[in-house]
Structures are given as C-alpha cells and as structure tokens.
Amino acid sequence: MYHLSRFSLARAVPRAARSVTTSSPAPPSQPAALKLKSGQVFEGRSFGAPRSVFGETVFTTSITSYTESLTDPSYTGQILAFTQPLMGNYGVPDNRVPGSAREHPMDVDVGCFLESKGVQATGVVVSELCERFSHFQAYESLASWCARYNVPGIQGVDTRALTTLLRNQGSTLGAILVGEDRHRTIDPSEFIDPMAENLIDRVSTKTIYTLHPVGGAEAARAHIALSDFGSKANILRSLLRLGVSVTVLPWTADFNAIRDQFDGLFLSNGPGSPDSIPSAIESVRRTINEWDRPIFGICMGHQIIGRAAGLRAYRMKFGNRGHNQPVLALSSGGMRVEAGRVYITSQNHGYALAYEESGPDAWPKDWQPWFVNANDWSIEGIVRTGGLDTHAPVWGVQFHPEHAGGPEDTNPLFDDYVEQVVRYKEMRSGNAPFLAHTQASAVQAHL
C-alpha cells in the first residue's frame, strides 16, 4: 500500500500536485454475476469495465495494497477475489509519476509508481466497493482505474462464502458476466484454463533495457542481469537501491551467449506454470552448471531454478496469496537468515516445488530445502549446498522479499545477494582460486 511515510505531509504535498480527490468518473454500475465452472453463482453489481471475462478464480488474504496486487503481473489470467471486505477506500495513485510510495532516497524511475504500468488481473471481486476515497496521493477511484484498463469488477459478493468454496474445492475457473450477459448459460468449453497457456510471454519485456542506480553507470557496484518472467517493479527498485545496474532481459533471451557481461543473474516472478517455458529451464540449467557467479530467483524464478536442478513442480489446490504467509527457515543458506525462525512473507503463487525422498523426483544432490511454509509445509526456498568450490551459490525463494505490499522480514535477502555479487566480482579481479575456496567454505559452514 502506498502510504504516508516517515516524511512529513508538508514534504509530500509538492509531489501530490495530484490534489486530494474524493470521487472520479466511472462507468455506471450494472447487475452482474460471478459464475464458476463448478456451478455456483454469486450475484452483485459491476464496476470498472462493463464487459464479461473468463479466468481462474483465486483469492488473496491481503488486507491492504490492492493497487500493488492488481498491478502484479503474476495475476495475469486470474479473477482476483479480495477477502478484505472494503476495497478502494484510499483510491489509486498516479502510476505515471517517477519514484515509489516509500520515497526512498536511492529510488530511480523504473517506469511506474506501482508494480507495472497497468492492471494485470483479468477481473476483480470485492464484497464492498468504496466509491468515495481519500488519500493525499490519490489520483482516481478503483472503479475508474479498472475501467481505463478494460478490467471488469463485481461488488456485493459474499467473499467469505466464495473463499471458503475455493479453499474446499480449489481455485476454480470462472466468469464475470455484466448486464444482460449475466442471464446466459455458459458452455463448459468457454472456461479455458489460463494456466495451460504461456502467460509469461504476455507480460515479459519484449526489448532489452538497462537501469542504473543514483549516480549513473559509473557509480554502480556491479551489473546484474534480470530475466523477466513478469517482474514486479519493486524487485528492480530493491536492486537499484543497493547501487547496482540492472539489465532486464526478455524470457526468450539467450543469457548464456552474453552472461560474461554480468556479475550476477536474477530470475523474477511471473504468472502461470514453470513448465510453460521449457527452453528457459534448459537455459538456466546450463547457467547453473557452467557459470561462476551468484544466481537468485523469486517466485517463478525460484521454480525455474528448482526445475533446472531436477525438481518437479506441481499445481497447488488453491495456492498461497497474501501478505501474511509464515515460512520456517531450515538453515541460514549462507545469508543473514536465522535457522529455526519463522518469517512473515508476501506471496502470490499457484505452483510449488515437490519434495520427494526417493524415486524419480527425489531431492537432487548438492541442493537442500531452505524454507518451508508453516501452514502447508510446501517448499518455500532452495539453496545449492554442494560444488561451491567450483560453482557460485544459487538461491531461490517462493515468497517476495521485496514485499510490495507486505512485511519487510526478508528484505535483507536482497542486501545479502548483492553483497555476494560484489564479492565474487572482486574475486575475479584478485586471487580468485584462493578467495573462491574461502568464500565457498564460508557459505557451506552456514548451511
């Protein structure tokens, strides 16, 4: 959620030339219905774009930060239901302005104020829509914002009943039908599962571009490549705040052909199944096996690392979506992580990596689970444990350390990753064999 930070309101006012607003135009509300493929119907009234859509119906337990959730590319193809009863009370900021809600002194313009340039969810479901909003950074209402991006919503839904249903039967294909369209009978063939598509190709950048930290390229401590599977903007901000340059690559880019230009590789979040992009899995497998520089993955990036290491990914019953997911650290992973501690995390995923003790999907040699979910015991992190004398460390986490929105418990993982990238860069310019062995031993000692 964008918020009034430690900076005074007086300082915030000049940036808020977007004056305090209490309402903004939106299309007239119409009768609407949310229909699930399993047969249940929830009636309500429309907001946003007056059109009908199909998608996978999922829920999030996030209490705030609906603006960040709806701009998260990982929600592509999904009809997102909020369990928090009231939505829209603080409106939507002007997403075109530079900077971020945190007003961090090391922020640079990453192209948007929120997590991407537009609303990414296919549809929105709320219990009660607040049509008169109030916030010093507010620019427009949730309804008018959704309408601008042609995204329909439905209000007046019993989201408690809907969430209970989705938890019991799992995430379910559904449709928001607006106006007279709500009366029609849907043919089962119309419910197309978006998770069967390559959603990553929809949201990944189509061009390569580079962002530099405050001070420009000359001030950068290192240069990191980010494979974009649908990256949240706050991942870029988190890296840039630590003084590194970031080059963003399309998911189709041949990283191994250009890898020696970079000091580290970061694999972003993204929508859908990791098995929708087998070529990326093969590319990352080669990078892990051959490259000598640190690699880190978040969410989809974590799953890609796991698949490249030989793990199986499976579709969860209803996934983990919200800003209150507890994860248990099994080891330090060579970072400032306290083994045995529970961290509260922000999450948005419908797939997870499988843990098998034997058989064809047995846990691979030289890897170990790093975090597990304290609610359902699904794998929340992996770390490379072997071969560190000749290969650089690799980490993956299912949750979002950049936390937009959500708790900041695991934000230091970015600091630790960047420190490792800088350290390995220094090794290559110094006594590399001795330093690499020393560093590998230090990492291994903390696992």
Residues forming the active site: 299, 400, 402
- Tell me the CB-side half-sphere exposure of residue 88, using CA atoms within 13 A: 26
Burial of 110 (0-12, 13-18, 19+ CB in 10 A): buried
Nearest alpha-carbon partner for 56 in 314, 272, 202: 272
In this structure, the dihedral spanned by the alpha carbons of residues 74, 80, 83 and 87, taken in order and rounded to 10 degrees, is 100
Burial of 293 (0-12, 13-18, 19+ CB in 10 A): buried
Q: Which amino acid is at 162?
A: L
How many other C-beta atoms can be found within 10 angstroms of the C-beta atom of residue 253? 19
**Residues 378-399 as b or e (16 or more Cβ within 10 Å = b):** bbbbbbbbebbeebbbbbbbbb
Burial of 278 (0-12, 13-18, 19+ CB in 10 A): exposed
Nearest alpha-carbon partner for 33 in 47, 21, 45: 45
Question: What share of residues in the chain are helix, strand, coil (percent, to 5)?
Answer: 30, 30, 45
Cβ atoms of residues 389 and 436 within 8 Å: yes
Q: Show the tokens assigned to 178.
A: 């607006």
Q: Which amino acid is at 65?
A: S
Residues whose CB falls within 8 Å of the CB of residue 22, separated by 6 or more in sequence, listed in order: 132, 133, 134
